[in-house]
Copies of this chain bind each other. A is one copy, B any other.
Amino acid sequence: MLVILELFSPPRMVWTTEGICEALGYSRPTGYRYIRQLTENGLLVRVGPAGYSLGPRIVEWDFLMRHADPMLTAGLPFLRNLAVQTGCDINLVALYGDRIVTTHQEMGTEILPLSFSRGRPFPILRGASSRIIIANFPRGRLKRIYEQNESEALALGYGSNWEEFKSYLAKIKRAGYAVSRGELDAGYAGVAVPIFGPKRVIIGCIVAALTTQRLALTRTDMLVNMLQGAAKEIEVRIPAPQVPPVPRRRDTAYRNVAS
């Protein structure tokens, strides 16, 4: 039933009952039943005389998530300050399981496309955010990523084999920041520094987004310094895990959320 929700993506964000049934092969009664249930749950909403779109419950959940996100709540003042001081768009990016997603956009002086805002997912190898985050992954996890993305890694300059891939990322990890140009949106660049949670586990990053022209005029070392300063401030403010008596860990890649 949740697969209905996957239908809603650009360019088609409104679906009719008929369209949904056709696309997913449901009979009419089944289609109407599913839609009705998702509508009652607030995941869909009726728009216009015949269409449905994603519903208000999603917006409400996102609201709850923003308020419960310790990295975001701790980081807000610093992100604002960075945007004012640098004039760049400053984004907070989080690692959610194996997804890398922007969680906050603080706008600078340039008007960048709205596509950089909260909710934008990043391909695992593209952009400064993805680079700085995976550079801090454990070896085994990196290996898995490499095996699943060999040709993309080659195309993006990570190297043509595992050793080169590993060493390329080790260099980024050592440098403590990553830069990318035009990999996500033509004409735009990013400079990213990592944010670590407890036990130095990577949980996200801060990115300065700017045009490639502006990046060419920027002293990257100073910008990185400021980003890293803010990252440190965020790290010390992230509260310790509030989860009850901690059972065995199954996965070292996690992020804290306040309970």
Determine, out of A11-19, A133-141, A142-150, A161-169, the stretch whose residues face the partner at the interface. A11-19
> Given A49-B254, A54-B61, A65-B58, A244 and B16 touching (CB < 8 A)?
yes
Query: Which residue of chain B is the closest to A13 with respect to CB atoms?
Result: B68
Number of copies: 2
> Given A47-B256, A246-B50, A62 and B58 touching (CB < 8 A)?
yes
Q: Is A60 an interface residue (CB 8 A)?
A: yes
Question: How big is the A interface, by class?
Answer: 35 or more
Q: Please, how many angstroms separate the alpha-carbon atoms of A243 and B55 in the complex?
A: 17
Which of B10, B11, B62, B97 lies in contact with A118, CB distance below 8 A?
Answer: B62
Chain B residues, Cβ within 8 Å of A64 = 8-10, 13, 54, 119
Max chain B CB contacts within 10 Å: which of A2, A61, A254?
A61
Query: Which residue of chain B is the closest to A59 with respect to CB atoms?
Result: B119
Query: Which residue of chain B is the closest to A42 with respect to CB atoms?
Result: B99
Q: Is A25 an interface residue (CB 8 A)?
A: no
